[in-house]
Copies of this chain bind each other. A is one copy, B any other.
Amino acid sequence: MNFQQLRSVREAVRCGFNLTEVAAMLYTSQPGVSRQIRELEDELGITIFARAGKRLTGLTEPGRVLVPIVERLLQEAENLRVAGREFVDRAEGTLSIAATHSQARYALPHAVRDFRQHYPQVTLNLHQGSPKQVAEMLLGGEADIGIATEALAGYPQLVTLPCYRWTHSIVVPHDHPLLHGGPPSLERLAAFPIITYDRGYTGRSHIDDAFARAGLRPDVVITAMDADVIKTYVELGMGVGIVASIAVDPERDRPLQAIDARHLFEINVTRLAVRRGSLLRGYAFAFIEHFAPSLTRAVVEDALALAIGAEATTEAVTSA
C-alpha cells in the first residue's frame, strides 16, 4: 500500500472513473494509474471499482466502504504537511477562501484587510463561486474556508458554523410609489416586477418562501448572482430590487433608495464551513476570528472535533 495508489483511487472517484483524466490530474501516465489501482485491489484482495468490460463504471460495494477511509487517510497525510508548515513559519503560507459574490464583495473586505496587516507573509487566495461550488472547493481540498449563506448544510463532510445574521432590503429608484405609505407589505411588493438573486444565492430561498406562504406569485423579471447587477437594472427602471441589506450603501448607490425589508423575509444566517477532519493553520483561525469574532479558535476546534451525528451514548448496563 502506498500513497500513489490511494491518490489514484481518490482521484478516480473524483474524475468520474476516467483513468485517463486521473493520469492528467496526477501528472503521470494512464497505464501507471491503472496499475496503481489494480495493485491496491490485489493487495486488499477485493475489487474497488465496478468494471464494464475494461471500462470503470463505478464503485463496488466494498469500494463504497473503502473510499471514505482512503479519503480520511489522505486527509491526515495532508494534515501532516500542514502541521509541518505551521512549525516552519507560523506567519507564512497560503490561505484559500471560497466565498459567494455577496460575501466576497460586502462581508469579507474588512476581515481581509485586517488579516493582511497581521499576516503580510500569507498568500491569500480568494475563490468565488456559487454556494455549491464553494462546498465542492472545500471537499476537493482547493479551499480551506468556505463562506456562504445557503447550501452549505447537507454535506456531512463539512462542518458549518454560523457567522452573522442579516436581512434583506428593497431597493427602488427615487420617487418610487413603495417609498410612501409606510413599510410595504408583501402584497404591495408583489405588484411590481421583481429583480433579485438567482435560486440558491444569498437568501433567495427565504424570499421565495415568504411569497409562497402569503399565497403570492411575484413577477421575478430578472435574476442575478450579485447585488451589483441587480442594482444596475433597478437603476434602469426595470423593477424593484430585493438584495441583502449589507449590499446597499446610501453614498455609492445615490440613484437608489433602500427600504428595510426585515419584516417581510426570514432572517438569514451566513455560515462558514471547513472540511471535517482538516487541520487549519494558526492564521486560518485568526482569519475566522477576524471575520466572525464569536468563532474563536476554541469554538472552531471543538466543532471540528465533533463526529458525524454525535449524540449522547447510552450507558445502559445489564445486571450480571
Contact = CB atoms under 8 A, between A and B. Distances in A.
A190 interface: no
Question: Which of A84, A107, A161 has the most chain B CB atoms inside 10 A of its CB?
Answer: A84
Interface residues of A, number: 59
B80 A1 contact: yes
A217 interface: no
Contact of A61 (B79, B87, B315, B320): B87
A69 B73 contact: no
A307 interface: yes
A111 to B, nearest CB: 13
Contact of A69 (B3, B65, B76, B318): B76
Contacts of A140: none
A218 to B, nearest CB: 25
A202 to B, nearest CB: 13
A286 interface: no
B3 A88 contact: no
A83 B60 CA distance: 13
Identical chains in the assembly: 2
Contacts of A303: 313
Contact of A46 (B76, B88, B311, B314): B88
A302 B311 CA distance: 8
A121 interface: no
Question: Which of A81, A314, A317 has the most chain B CB atoms inside 10 A of its CB?
Answer: A317
A34 B65 CA distance: 36
A246 interface: yes
A46 B79 CA distance: 14
Interface in A269-320: 269-270, 279, 292-294, 299, 302-303, 305-311, 313-320
A97 interface: no
A70 interface: yes
Interface of A: 1-3, 43-46, 61-62, 65-66, 69-70, 72-73, 76-77, 79-81, 83-88, 107, 161-166, 245-246, 269-270, 279, 292-294, 299, 302-303, 305-311, 313-320
Given A2-B3, A45-B87, A65-B83, 16 more contacts: A46-B87, A62-B83, A62-B87, A69-B76, A69-B279, A107-B320, A162-B317, A164-B317, A165-B317, A165-B318, A165-B319, A270-B320, A305-B307, A305-B309, A305-B310, A307-B310
